[in-house]
Amino acid sequence: MLVYGLKSCDTCRKALKSLPEASFVDVRDKGVPAEVVSRAIADFGHELVNKRSTTWRNLSEEERASDVVALIASHPTVMKRPLIVNGDQMHLGWSDEVRAALGVG
């Protein structure tokens, strides 16, 4: 299991604490592989972009209109987090539904 997020994100830290077997990928340091982003877009669409983030608010209109894969490649902190990859399943965020799907409380 891989958890993509930010080491400074409280929600990501909560997820990691509940998922001790998971490996963590800090998107600020390592980015997110394009194939993972593409798969996440197929699953979550534009929900993958956190439009409430400071990063999003600081983007130009031209950057906001760019391809989502390219946007996340150049600004990985604009991605909603955590993005959890568990085999062939993906989960976005740390909602009650995600926790239930992963079997954690």
DSSP per-residue string spanning 29-95 = HH---HHHHHHHHHHHGGGGB-TTSHHHHTS-HHHHTS-HHHHHHH-GGGB-S-EEEETTEEEES--
9 is annotated as an active-site residue: yes
Catalytic residue among 3, 9, 15, 79: 9
**Burial category of 87 from C-beta neighbours within 10 Å (exposed 0-12, middle 13-18, buried 19 and up):** exposed
Q: What is the DSSP letter of 4?
A: E
Active site (catalytic) residues: 9
